[in-house]
Every structure is written in structure tokens, then in C-alpha cells.
Amino acid sequence: MIELRTPAEIEQMRPVGRFVAETLQALKREVTVGMNLLHIDKRAHELIRRAGAESCYIDYAPSFGSGPFGHVICTSVNESVLHGMPFDYALKDGDLLTLDFAVSLNGWVADSAISFVVGTPRAEDLALIDTTERALAAGIAAAQPGGKVGDISAAIAKVARADGLKINTDFGGHGVGRTMHGDPHIPNAGRAGRGFPLKPGLVIAIEPWFLQSTDELITEQRDGWTLSSADGSRGAHSEHTIAITEDGPIILTQA
């Protein structure tokens, strides 16, 4: 079921969007070489409790995961790109890290993700991150009232294909509101002018993610959750929660 939010409800969603954005930026500043992924999860948990928010992940148990997630943030490293379950791993110099974070505050949800390099970056990693960020910006720019979901998908795909990347459409953007995942599904490739109408009041997460040399994913056996590239190439992921208004899209998860 797709629900449209009133202007007043969109205003009510701003605090959770701001909290998600500020938490991701705070964690990015704190992450250093040698930091354990479990420490990042612990720190995110502390910030959630301090804000009086609730994690959308800890009890999350969809069909594509192995039981409740059990943590409050996704930490995907190098070849892992989505649903990275924190585990006992100390970050190394040059690791490409994605943090994906969603919480509920005052009954509203926001969802966002960032990718960055810990320590010394490799040029190809920075280029991949840049592609996801430009694809996200293009998708947001295409999220105009009167358009279609396919406009967003096509805009994202145009950026990725111009950089020679393959696109997996199994996982992508989604509706956001009282819960983390809702309709409509927003794949990272599609045809402009097709799909669900983009109406004022629609709140969605747009999340381009790409792998350097494949579009195939495998599920890591260590946890039954973490999705990694089938060929070991690295991945990056950028995500914002946005609201479509009469005047165009507004980004809710912006610090």
C-alpha cells in the first residue's frame, strides 16, 4: 500500500531525517583504521538511545535475511555492499566502508547510506563512490511531481552506464513512512515515463549501489545477511530519504 503524506506530516519527518544524517556524519568522523565494526554498531546504538529513537534493523527479519538482524547499523566492507552485518573485524587502511542506517523517531522513519574509504584511498574506490553519489543526485533531481518512478530509475542508470557499470535491480529504493520498507520499489534501472506516478506527498528512499565489475551478488555464509559481489570486486552505496512536494523533491536525510 502506497501512502501519501500531508505537508504537515512531511514536516514531522524532518527530525528523524536530520538525526539519521547527523549520526552517519558523526560515525564517519569517528571511524579510523583499526576500529572494529562491532564498536561502530555499539556507538550507533548509544546515539539511538540518547535521541530516544528506535532501530529499524535490530528485530528486522525479512525473507531475504537469516533471522532477526540483531544490530542497529549495516556495515558493509569492500566487496560487501548491502545488509552488511557487523562482526568482529578491525578496519584496515584503504577499506571501503558503507554505513546504512534507518531509525524511527516520534513514529516516523528515515533511511540513508554513505560510503567512504578508511585511511588511504584507492582512486578506483573514490571513483565508484563518486558514481553512486552522482547517480543519487540524478535520481533525486528526476523525482518531480507529475513524473513516474521510471524517471528516477532511468536517471540513476544513465549515470552508472556512462561509467561502464552493470546494474542489479533486485534491491533498490522504496517507500518510507511509519515503517522502513514500503511501496513503491524503485529499481536502479528502468524506463522513463513508466511506473507509479510521483505525486506530492510521496516519501521514498532512493539508493543507487554498484559493484566495480559485476551485477551479481552472493550472500555471505557467516551471517546469512551480508550481500557481496560474486567476483570479489568492491561496492559502494549512497542513499537519501526524500519527500516529493508541489515544488519538487526535498531531502530529509541531509545534515
133 annotated as a binding-site residue: no
> What is the per-residue pLDDT for 1?
82
207 annotated to bind ligand: yes
Question: Is 239 marked within a binding site?
Answer: yes
Residue 85's pLDDT is what? 98
Distance CA 80, CA 209 (A): 11
Judge whether 45 is annotated as a binding position: no
Residues 6+ apart with CB under 8 A from 235: 76, 78, 79, 80, 81, 82, 96, 98, 128, 209, 210, 211, 212, 228, 229
Using CA atoms, how far apart are residues 173 and 138, in angstroms rounded to an integer?
14
Please name the CATH architecture into which domain 7-251 falls: Alpha-Beta Complex (3.90)
**181 belongs to an annotated ligand binding site:** yes
Q: Tell me: is residue 71 an annotated ligand-binding position.
A: no
* 237 marked as part of a ligand binding site: no
- Listed by start position, the domains of the chain span 7-251
What pLDDT does 18 receive? 98
The residue ranges of the chain whose pLDDT is under 50 are none
CA–CA distances in Å: residue 102 to residues 58, 96, 160: 10, 20, 25
CA distance 76 to 81: 5
Whether the CB-CB separation of 125 and 95 falls below 8 Å is answered with: no
Are the C-beta atoms of 15 and 106 separated by less than 8 Å?
Answer: yes
pLDDT in tens, 1-51: 899 999 999 999 999 999 999 999 999 999 999 999 999 999 999 999 999
What is the predicted pLDDT for the residue at 255? 82
- Whole-number Å distance between alpha carbons of 196 and 138: 18
Task: Give the three cell numbers for residue 154.
Answer: 532511468
What count of other Cβ atoms lies within 10 Å of the Cβ of residue 8? Answer: 7
Which residue's C-alpha cell is 554513505?
A: 114
